[in-house]
Chain A
Amino acid sequence: MSLQDSIKAARLEREETKKEEKFEMMSSKMKSKGPGQYILLALLLLYTVICALPIILVFVSAFSDEKSISENGFSYFPQKWSMAGFNAVLRYGKQLATSYGVTIFITVTGTLIGLLFMSMFAYALSRKDFRLRGFLSIYLMIPMLFSGGQLASYIIFTSQYHLKDSLLLLILPLCVSTMNVIILRTYIQSSVPEELMEAARIDGAGEWRTFFQITFPLMKPSMAAVGFMMATAYWNDWQNALLYIDTDAKKPLQLLLINIQKSIEFLLNARNIPSSALTAMQGSVPQYSATMATVVTVIGPIMIVYPFFQKYFVKGLTVGSVKG
């Protein structure tokens, strides 16, 4: 049998057993739909609502009239709806688009580079006949066991590597992490059958081919999980940006949010002298609704894109479970 055939056969077999498992789980789980299930459902629904409420508040206040917020506070039921907040956001418009570009760029590039390197690293570590395995395992563990900490990295990045204000500093620090490599390695060892890789080797495939054609495709569930975690970390990273990025053209979304918070606080502080001017300005500068509108523009698109990504990571993670 050629290499291709043996892979195909192995895949078919896996899929068939998966299907059988699914069917069995379905039939065994479909039996019980007692009152316990409904209590469980109610509790989970309650928790879901608790999770969603803060996010809903952001959306509601973004569309609220500034006056109803400053007079009656933030509310789920504002007296008046308004688009003024979003109009004010248009003033940041250009910077917002730039920041979007930066964030998307670092998220995609960082996740792809990281996944490639980490999966290869994990594959090497999973091979028992690899000579450097022991050394590399220890090498991998060191940063997890002992790190220089924030200050040391800051000094190294800025005065040794001279990378201050460089996009590389948004990508590289989060790229490879010990924990993710361990997760991938564990997955290869536990879920990718060793016989499959051996068969490929016997059929004459080199290490690269074995990795990219056999191990790599079978690693998809763990890659989805790790990739998802990485993308989240990149998207949410504000600290490296705050420490290292100065130029407007390189500011990711999170730094933009921090800047907006600071400028609004500055506005508030500058205003505490004449109280008549304060009330007058509160009417004209929609700070609360504008801030919330900015938050919406930052988190809104994720929520639109998220369901599509979710298909990959949750399905990838829940291999073998019942399809929805």
Chain B
Amino acid sequence: MTSNTLLYYLVFTLLGTFLNIVLAIAIDQLVFKRVGKAMQSIMIIPVFISYAAVQFIVYAYLSTDNGLLNQALHLTTRWYSNAKYWPTILTVVKMWNSVGYGSVLYMSVLSGISSELYEAADIDGASKWQKIWYVTLPELVPMITVMLLLSVGGIMHSDTGLFYQVTRNSGQLYSTTQVIDSYVLNSILKNSNFGFTAAATFFQSIVGTVLILIANAVVRKLHPENALF
């Protein structure tokens, strides 16, 4: 349960941040602004769809008898009872859901970069990649630092909907999909085991607090201006 929570946190945060930035820079670099904007609108839409609805979409793809995937590839895989597939499935669903939206925040930073910086780089004869590496990315660093710092506090927390709804809360998948948050939710709804649950949430909070304090101290040492406090 704890290791699931930590692993999903790591994968989602690292992959998510990376994809957010790549997408933001890609759209920002695109000359066809009108098309870029339209595409961005479509990319953001998944975030409007709650996991309660996403769950039905995933089911349409993965249902054993009627799922698009099994039908199209002539498989008979029982996705909902095989725990080993779920780390990949959940990662794909999470990225589909959040990357377009996550990039908006970085886009807002990118659009705030003064054009003088790029002009100066042009005068110095910088190539496109050099401009991204030496001008764009450093401007994004404060935002990235803050976002990572904030997320560290939630290291023991997960996107509950993803783990509770998308897996249909299926007991057979718990070995790879049960995270602390979904365990807590289950025990509240079933009104059971409050003692252990309380201990689990306390553990979540303590670890989060300690980690965010450490992370902030590290950032403070390296780049004092990016620290939270």
Q: Is A150 in the interface zone, CB < 8 Å from B?
A: yes
Q: Is B12 an interface residue (CB 8 A)?
A: no
Whether A324 is near chain B, meaning CB under 8 Å from some CB there, is yes
Contact, CB under 8 Å: B34 / A324: yes
Binds B, one of A6-14, A27-35, A203-211: A27-35
| Interface residue? A291 (CB, 8 A) | yes
Q: Do the beta carbons of A150 and B181 come within 8 Å of each other?
A: yes
Q: Which of A24, A73, A291, A306 contacts B68 (CB 8 A)?
A: A73
A310 engages B47 (CB within 8 Å): no
Q: How far is the CB of B162 from chain A (nearest CB, A)?
A: 12
B63–A151 CB distance below 8 A: no
A108: CB under 8 A from chain B? no
By the criterion of a CB under 8 Å from any partner CB, how many residues of chain B are at the interface?
82
Chain A residues near B107 (CB-CB < 8 A): 317-318
Separation of A36 and B30 alpha carbons in the complex (Å)? 9
Closest-by-CB residue of A relative to B203 is: A149
Q: B30 and A41: CB pair below 8 A?
A: yes
> In the complex, how many angstroms separate the beta carbon of A243 from the nearest chain B beta carbon?
6
Complex Cα distance, B96 from A324, in Å, reads 25
In the complex with contacts A150-B181, A238-B51, A298-B53, A320-B112 CB distance below 8 A: yes
Chain A interface size, under 10 / 10 to 19 / 20 to 34 / 35 or more: 35 or more
Q: Chain A contacts of B63 at CB under 8 A?
A: 73-74
Question: Which residues of A have CB within 8 Å of B209?
Answer: 145-146
Query: Is the beta-carbon distance between A54 and B51 smaller than 8 angstroms?
Result: no
Interface majority SS (helix, strand, loop, mixed), chain A:
helix
How far is B41's CA from A28's CA once the two chains are assembled, in angstroms? 25
Q: Does A1 lie at the interface of the complex (its beta carbon under 8 Å from any beta carbon of B)?
A: no
Q: What is the CB-to-nearest-CB distance from A294 to chain B, in angstroms, rounded to a whole number?
A: 8
A51 to B97, CA, bound (A): 8
Stretch at the interface among B2-10, B132-140, B182-190: B182-190
Minimum CB–CB distance from B149 to chain A (whole Å) comes to 10
Tell me if A82 counts as interface (CB < 8 A to partner B): no
Please name all residues of chain B whose beta carbon is closer than 8 Å to the beta carbon of A132 when the two chains form the complex: none
CB proximity to B under 8 Å, residues A131-161: 137, 141, 144-152, 154
In the complex, how many angstroms separate the beta carbon of B32 from the nearest chain A beta carbon?
A: 6
Contact A55 B45 (CB under 8 A): yes
Q: Which of A292-323 contact B (CB under 8 A)?
A: 292, 295, 298-299, 302-303, 306-307, 310, 313-314, 317-323
Are B53 and A257 in contact (CB-based, < 8 A)?
Answer: yes
Q: Are A243 and B189 in contact (CB under 8 A)?
A: yes
Q: How far is the CB of B134 from chain A (nearest CB, A)?
A: 17
Is B111 in contact with chain A by the CB < 8 A criterion?
yes
Known: A41-B32, A73-B65, A254-B50. A150 touches B184 (CB 8 A): yes
Q: How far is the CB of A255 from chain B (nearest CB, A)?
A: 8
Choice from B44, B50, B56, B115 contacting A24 with Cβ under 8 Å: B115
Residue in B61, B101, B104, B168 whose CB lies within 8 Å of A74: B61
B48 near A151: Cβ-Cβ < 8 Å: no
A173 CA to B202 CA, complexed, in Å: 19
Stretch at the interface among B21-29, B83-91, B171-179: B21-29
Shortest 6 CB-CB distances between A and B: which pairs? A149-B201, A73-B71, A321-B111, A236-B50, A317-B108, A318-B111
Instruction: Offer 5 A-B interface pairs, CB within 8 angstroms, sorted by A.
Output: A25-B115, A47-B43, A58-B60, A191-B112, A257-B50
Q: Kindly list 5 other residue pairs between chains A and B, CB separation below 8 angstroms, not including A44-B36, A324-B34.
A: A32-B31, A33-B31, A149-B184, A186-B146, A318-B108
